């Protein structure tokens, strides 16, 4: 796993680290099922480095990153051998943004289907974060979820679904 990080956390009064704007970290992960736990470990390291260990939405963030990476692996070329995904985490203006970039194609994630056990990842992500978007890029897709750092878990998402 290759990753880069900038701007160490600032120390608040009393010497405790607190999240500060401009903290960013990026990891390029090879396509494959091991990318999901690797992305979680990368996100956990970011949480520790930015002093967010006690933040009540850590589990929501980890779940969203796992789902976005899983979608990239199962619904794009990024899941094929020799391909990659990029996980980017950033704190800016009181928001934590987690972004997963994939290599696009062959198919986009679909809405939930009640006849099988797949398709609920997008609904889960939307329910857990404050804002979720998927956009096309020239080289693939960008999935991003955003969390307000000063908020507790959302009671409803933009989709109107309560969190799980």
User: How does pLDDT run across 29-84, given as a tens digit for each residue?
Assistant: 998 889 999 999 999 999 999 989 889 999 999 999 999 999 898 888 888 888 99
CATH number at residue 34: 3.30.565.10
Predicted TM-score (pTM) of the model is: 0.76
The answer to whether residue 114 is domain-embedded is yes
Round to whole Å and give the CA distance between 155 and 140.
32
Tens-digit pLDDT profile for residues 120-151 = 788 889 999 999 999 988 889 999 999 999 86
Total domains in the fold of the chain: 1
The pLDDT-based confidence of 155 (bands split at 50, 70, 90) is very low
Side-chain-side CA neighbours of residue 124 (13 Å): 19
The answer to whether residue 7 is domain-embedded is no
The answer to whether residue 32 is domain-embedded is yes
For 153, residues 6+ apart whose C-beta sits below 8 A from its C-beta are 56, 57, 60, 128, 163
The answer to whether residue 19 is domain-embedded is no
Contact assessment for residue 30 and residue 73, using Cβ atoms and an 8 Å cutoff: no
Closest CA to 43 of 32, 29, 30, 33: 29
Residue 41 structural domain: 24-148
Round to whole Å and give the CA distance between 103 and 142.
9
Q: Using the 8-state DSSP alphabet, how is residue 155 labeled?
A: S
The answer to whether residue 118 is domain-embedded is yes
Other C-beta atoms closer than 10 Å to the C-beta of 74 total: 14
The answer to whether residue 3 is domain-embedded is no
């Amino acid at each position: 796993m290759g990753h880069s990080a900038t701007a160490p956390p600032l120390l608040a009064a009393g010497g405790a680290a607190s999240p500060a704007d401009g903290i960013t970290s990026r990891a390029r992960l090879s396509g494959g099922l091991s990318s999901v736990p690797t992305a979680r470990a990368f996100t956990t390291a970011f949480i520790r480095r930015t002093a967010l260990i006690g933040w009540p939405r850590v589990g929501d963030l980890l779940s969203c990153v796992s789902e976005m990476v899983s979608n990239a692996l199962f619904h794009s070329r990024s899941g094929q051998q020799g391909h990659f995904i990029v996980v980017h985490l950033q704190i800016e203006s009181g928001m934590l943004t987690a972004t997963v970039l994939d290599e696009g194609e062959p198919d986009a994630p679909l809405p939930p289907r009640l006849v099988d056990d797949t398709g609920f990842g997008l609904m889960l992500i939307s329910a857990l974060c404050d804002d979720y978007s998927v956009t096309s890029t020239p080289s693939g897709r960008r999935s991003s979820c955003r969390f307000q750092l000063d908020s507790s878990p959302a009671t409803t998402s933009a989709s109107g679904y309560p969190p799980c």
